[in-house]
Structure 1
Amino acid sequence: MEIFLTSVVHFAFVLCIGYYFMTAMQWYSYRLERILFHYNRYDWHLYFFIFPLFAYYLLDGIVLYCFSILLIIALSLWNKKNDKKLVFTARVKRFFLFLIFATLFQNTLCLTYISCQKFGIVIPLGLAQLLSMIFEKILFESYKKEAFHKVMQRSSMKVIAITASYGKTSIKNFLAQILSKQFLVYKTPRSVNTIGGIIKDINTDLPQACDVYIVEAGARLKGDIDAIARLVNPHIAIVGRIGAQHIEYFKTLENIRNTKMEMIHSNRLEKAFVHESAQVKASETVVCFGDDLKDVEATLDGVKFTMVIDGKEERFFSPLLGDFNAINLGVCIHVAKELGMRLEAIKEAIKELKGVEHRLQKIEAGGKVIIDDSFNGNLEGMLSSYALVASYAGRKVIVTPGIVESTVEANALLAQTIDDVFDLVIITGKSNAAILGLHVKKAQKIVLADKSQLQTVLAEQTHVGDLILFSNDAPSFI
């Protein structure tokens, strides 16, 4: 009986710690170094990994059994509060299959020697992770070859690849809408921008009938963009605005610039449109953009701007919100012209553009004006949205976690601007609560460590006629 109970407790501990470990891995794109060195909630490592590990080794008998029940309850409550729960993908299921087999194998070996299980939490977890890494690497290389051949075999299909510190998803969506007026266009869905996501997209969803394939490329490490560029070999590369987003990974702005410029590593590159913030020289292949815009006017009705094209000033209007969208639209105009679209057709397409969901999306509900900008997480874009709503005559409310994965200086500047514009500031999450709280002095301030309270707070604190801006969003693990 004792051996059976010990085996059950051992199995429960391994699965609990394995569940926490795999949740963290999925949050951070299955990069072990990121959950070790770039994790935002190390206290959770303490509660759900370190403490349980020590408890398993130090406790015994009924005390250990009771602790295992408490661990299961604590993990269940933690998981229930998470806004980004573990998704049981094929990869996750394979990991747990390895973990279960490793644990059962160890329990079988320990049937005659109970104390050997005291060394048994890390061993099955480590073995499962090792087997998972090997298996996924073999699978990844197989899928990667399949995706590469699928793209390269379509000689008539133009591939456009987009990267930037911020704005790449918007550029992708706007460009797809414009080009679809003349071409059969397919783009990577939602915010899929990692090499794994792109490989899956090519192998499972890229349609046979496709004139233009638009790929969004993101990066956390040097070489990430290079891998994507060499996979899809774009005919047209777009490098949008570059800033200090994800600076904790790259350390310097120069490293970010160099990584983004890996996008031109294509053996069939015809043209690269690069924002002036990349600080590169124009050439026959490289076209710099950003300084060809002027007279940008942004209101709650849309954005107007003038752009110099072939030496002539052309005026554009789009119902999109935010002056920063003028730059995003500018590069879309360049690419559309490169692919042969007439200027008048481009102007008409821009007039009909629909905004990207959760990016300065205007909603009117219950007598309140709601601006959903929850997918905008960079300093320049967030400041631009504040300038946009500053002219609103009524009371202004902001809900924000600040800028994640950025600098203290950027968040301080953000907070000072918030304090000048808004009447009520609701700060969500812990990561920037201290720095935002320090610099928000005039406005009413509410700090929410738990976003589950947000709906109640908004119902109690906002009124008819208020403007509510959702500025950036961050999952609870950040």
Structure 2
Amino acid sequence: MILSQINVATSPIFLVVAFAISGASAIRWIRVAQREHYVPGYVFRFMLRWYFARDNAWNFSLSFVMILLLFATTSRPAVVSSSVFCFISIGILTLVLPLGLGIKGRTSPLKWTRRARLLFGVTLAINFVISVASYFFGLASSVGAVEMAIASLVVELGTWITAPLEERSIAPFVASATSKLNSINPKRVAITGSFGKTSTKVYLAQLCRESISTLASPASYNNRAGLARTVNENLLPGTDLFIAEMGTFGPGEIAALVEWVRPTVVAITAIGPVHLERFGSEENILKAKTEIAKYAEVVVLNVDDPRLMVLASELERQGKKIWRVSGVELARSVAVLTDDDGRNVVYHDQRRIGSTMTPVAKTNLAVAVAMALELGVTEAAIGSALTSLEPAKNRMNIAKLESGASVVDDTYNSNPSGARMALSQAATMLFAGSKLIVVTPGMVELGDRQYDENRLFGEEIASVATDLVIVGLTNKRALHRGALGEVQSGRSKVRITYQPTRDAAVKWIKANSTSGDVVLYENDLPDHYA
């Protein structure tokens, strides 16, 4: 009786409910946008991953059910009971799907920054326009159902709308930072690379801090907004050195940074497949990273990478001073080599200047030492700083569990090269009879190489580890296939375990590790990954 009195074409009930549910669901996808730096296209990409990944059978099935319900409510709007049932069902599915991607978030809750609020406001405005239009066209229930179902696509549209607005809004802060930099006028150095940027920055700051008043951009503040904020809030009169980490998600971004930072000493730590899906090829990555050298007088390059060896010669012909550094070849400007006692020994022009027992990526340390020398830090000061060198947070940090097991924390921004180094380091810590347990969700943003790189990593884990704990669904098939292949061939006896979340994996470790064991945590994906 009540249903028969509802006008599914114009009832404001449908409009209000659709608007509310769409807004609530939008928060989930704004969280995804925030984690992906609001880059247009990435909400849509993650939506496809969550709904259509092969290992997400429930999400795929329920999304198919939602499509059928949408078809029913739009094709038979005059049937009141059918429209109401479909509308309610779609609303419920919109609130709960995709399963595993919560609105609140476990590891990466939404931070209501100015940009998040702007995106939410634009999303609500789009939904409001849809609701009003559906009312005037007499399609309240059917269009309302569609409005709820496409909540992720509305947020995606919002990222495209807000991107140019954000660029304009940042401009005054960049202008202020530029003025402050020019006024205080510290030496300016910049570091980029596919990986190793933050570690190199941390090492350089430690090598310089006793000799030069230094400000380094914090954490991974490596874009336009982050660097401008660093300068505006933290650069003080008397600062003699500003170290800027520079990241990029596409061509032209680093070029825009050096236009106002104007670093005179720069470094490229490495070129690799990190962010490959954003660039398309490693050649494009190299071109984007090379933008850092535009105004530089001195360039430090890790020439263990053949591409950077070629770049060194090209930049030298342009009149730039080049420091060639290496983690394997002594005959370089700076080299870091491991001796028989496990020490990382630093050489300047083949002359030993110090060493450290800190687990490091040798080329990252070599880049930092070369930059410090160029900045005027003495060999003696560098040698002294090396004795107390600390690793960057979540990069090869070693700790002990209550059980007595050793933990190697390498959870930040895993890449193929770094993952192999961490695995090798963990293997050297083993005692006879102890276990090596590798906990990993695998590596991401490797484009069409992601599956193969993770499969190979699974094989490498199986060759040295006793246990592989795969976290999440993102790279489960690739890691499992790689490790299982080694088991089936008889080359490994590794035990393979799956845990849905990092928290579940930590509980498993506590229950299954004992004194003498070594646990490697390799990468930690935020929970907007499956």
TM over 0.5: yes
Contact kept? 1:245, 1:405, Cα under 8 Å: yes
Which residue of the other structure, out of 83, 86, 104, is the alignment partner of 2:107? 83
Contact kept? 2:346, 2:366, Cα under 8 Å: no
| Cα distance in structure 2, aligned partners of 1:109 and 1:229 | 46
Contact kept? 1:176, 1:185, Cα under 8 Å: yes
Change over 3 Å in CA distance of 1:369–1:30 after alignment to 2: same
| Cα distance in structure 2, aligned partners of 1:147 and 1:413 | 45
Structure 1, gaps ≥5 residues long: none
RMSD, aligned CA: 3.0
| Cα distance in structure 1, aligned partners of 2:138 and 2:88 | 15
Which residue of the other structure, out of 258, 281, 286, is the alignment partner of 2:287? 258
Q: Which amino acid is the alignment partner of residue 114 of structure 2?
A: A
State the partner residue of 1:271. 298
Contact kept? 1:298, 1:321, Cα under 8 Å: no
1:92-107 pair list within 5 angstroms: 92-104=116-128, 107=131
| Cα distance in structure 2, aligned partners of 1:294 and 1:132 | 46
1:111-126 pair list within 5 angstroms: 114-115=138-139, 118-119=142-143, 121=147
Contact kept? 2:471, 2:501, Cα under 8 Å: yes
Q: Partner of 2:343: helix, strand, or coil? A: strand
- Of stretches 248-257 and 355-364 in structure 1, the one that deviates more from structure 2 is 248-257
| Cα distance in structure 1, aligned partners of 2:460 and 2:340 | 18
Structure 2, gaps ≥5 residues long: 1-5, 54-58, 74-82
TM-score (norm 1): 0.87
**1:191 maps to 2:220:** yes
Change over 3 Å in CA distance of 1:285–1:257 after alignment to 2: same
Q: Partner of 1:241: helix, strand, or coil? A: coil
Q: Partner of 1:438: helix, strand, or coil? A: helix
- Of stretches 200-209 and 329-338 in structure 1, the one that deviates more from structure 2 is 200-209
**1:464 maps to 2:515:** yes
Change over 3 Å in CA distance of 1:198–1:85 after alignment to 2: same
Contact kept? 2:299, 2:321, Cα under 8 Å: yes
Q: CA deviation at 1:372?
A: 0.9
Q: CA deviation at 1:231?
A: 2.9
Which residue of the other structure, out of 368, 372, 389, is the alignment partner of 2:426? 389
Q: Partner of 2:41: helix, strand, or coil? A: helix
State the partner residue of 1:422. 465
Give aligned pairs, total: 469
Which residue of the other structure, out of 434, 437, 446, is the alignment partner of 2:477? 434
- Of stretches 452-461 and 176-185 in structure 1, the one that deviates more from structure 2 is 452-461
Which residue of the other structure, out of 9, 31, 34, is the alignment partner of 1:26? 34
Provide Cα deviations, 1:129-159, integer angstroms capped at 9, x if missing partner. 565344323212333333333323333x111
**1:337 maps to 2:373:** yes
Provide Cα deviations, 1:89-114, integer angstroms capped at 9, x if missing partner. 11111222333345446656666654
1:4-403 pair list within 5 angstroms: 4-37=12-45, 41-43=49-51, 55=69, 58-59=72-73, 60-74=83-97, 78-79=101-102, 80=104, 82-104=106-128, 107=131, 114-115=138-139, 118-119=142-143, 121=147, 132-155=162-185, 157-266=186-295, 269-276=296-303, 277=305, 278=308, 279-282=310-313, 283=316, 284-290=320-326, 291=329, 292=332, 293=335, 295-297=337-339, 303-309=343-349, 312-322=350-360, 324=361, 326-366=362-402, 367-375=404-412, 377-391=414-428, 392-393=430-431, 394-403=434-443
| Cα distance in structure 2, aligned partners of 1:39 and 1:288 | 44
Q: CA deviation at 1:191?
A: 1.6
Contact kept? 2:43, 2:156, Cα under 8 Å: no
- Of stretches 387-396 and 169-178 in structure 1, the one that deviates more from structure 2 is 387-396
Q: Which amino acid is the alignment partner of residue 167 of structure 2?
A: K
Contact kept? 2:472, 2:499, Cα under 8 Å: yes
Q: CA deviation at 1:336?
A: 1.5
Contact kept? 1:304, 1:315, Cα under 8 Å: no
Q: Partner of 1:161: helix, strand, or coil? A: strand
Q: Partner of 1:31: helix, strand, or coil? A: coil
| Cα distance in structure 2, aligned partners of 1:49 and 1:318 | 54
Provide Cα deviations, 1:399-422, integer angstroms capped at 9, x if missing partner. 112222232443333222211211
| Cα distance in structure 2, aligned partners of 1:74 and 1:298 | 55
Q: CA deviation at 1:72?
A: 2.8
Contact kept? 1:13, 1:68, Cα under 8 Å: yes
Contact kept? 1:12, 1:68, Cα under 8 Å: no
Contact kept? 1:182, 1:341, Cα under 8 Å: yes
TM-score (norm 2): 0.79
Provide Cα deviations, 1:329-357, integer angstroms capped at 9, x if missing partner. 22222121212121111100111112212
| Cα distance in structure 1, aligned partners of 2:234 and 2:138 | 51
Q: CA deviation at 1:163?
A: 0.4
Change over 3 Å in CA distance of 1:464–1:380 after alignment to 2: same
Q: Which amino acid is the alignment partner of residue 173 of structure 1?
A: V
% identical equivalent positions? 21
Change over 3 Å in CA distance of 1:411–1:77 after alignment to 2: closer
Contact kept? 1:16, 1:75, Cα under 8 Å: no
